[in-house]
Amino acid sequence: MAPSLRDIVSQATSFISQLPLLGGGSDSFQPPSDVSFYDPLTSGPSCPIDGPVSCHNSTPIAEPNSCCFVYPGGKILLTQFWDQQVHAGGAEEDWTLHGLWPDLCDGTYDQFCNMTPQYHNITAVLEQHGQHELVQFMDRYWLASSGPNSRLWEHEFNKHGTCINTLAPACYGDSHKPGLEVVDYFQRAAALFRTLDTYHALQTAGIVPHPRKHYPLADVQAALEKYSGGKVVLRCGGRRDVLHEAWYVYFIRGSLQTGDFIPAQDRGGKEEDAGNCAPWIKYLPKRHPRGADL
């Protein structure tokens, strides 16, 4: 069986910000210490360590500081799927990556913004920049429900990545080469995903896949929010009683390329409405593909 996300991330060190939590709360947050910080390939924006946090500025951000402040999509969601079936090369405990989304501060969102160019050859772009290991990781954990994975990657970057202002070519200065923004988007998404072992977080709370058992939604949400240190939105399928997605909510201090992800303490806005699960939910085991070797 292929190694699980927990096996992979246990070999590295954390990159999540250890800054004080935003929005109050007395409990201190100790981020998962299992993922190495991503060192960008580029000379992207060099940002002050005490700059404003996205969605928390008290005055407008002027040029050239806009390359160090994610706006207007300053609420960042790392979204994961609990797939119905074990995918090829995967494991029964795999949660998979859906996307990295820059929501507006009120929880609504823009899409296909063209703050960066759109790309239609994501695999080729990543490999051109030497990101072969990243492509392998994405083929393991960033999976399309149908069709080639590369089609999902293209959709996610063109719909969401192009709405992240710090990825604009101008923020790279003279060092910009086509595709560097693609590398930074997918590297940062993968690095953040590696810190969020949803299966392990639920397992630690005694919440494990079962064909018939129902769990209180509040318990599932509390387990993930205790683990991540921030708010989590849950989405369900079936009759709104089958756990299917987890959205982890963050703000950023600095640019997407090099900034700190800070767990949000309030879902707020439209994210609050996006959670659609019933009060009691099932967390179903994955099915094995017919004819798969067990």
Q: What angle do CA 15, 194, 235 make, to 5 degrees?
A: 120
Residue 257 has pLDDT above 80, yes or no: yes
pTM: 0.85
**DSSP line for 215-269:** EEHHHHHHHHHHHHSS-EEEEEETTTTEEEEEEEEEEEES-TTT-EEEE-S---H
Homologous superfamily (CATH) of 53-282 is: Ribonuclease T2-like (3.90.730.10)
The residues annotated with a catalytic role in the active site are 98, 156, 160
**Tens-place pLDDT, residues 101-136:** 999 998 899 999 989 999 999 999 999 999 999 999
Q: Domain boundaries in the chain? A: 53-282
What is the percentage of the chain residues whose pLDDT exceeds 90? 64
Q: Terminus-to-terminus CA distance in the chain, angstroms?
A: 9
Q: What pLDDT, on the 0 to 100 scale, is given for residue 283?
A: 98
Q: What pLDDT, on the 0 to 100 scale, is given for residue 3?
A: 54
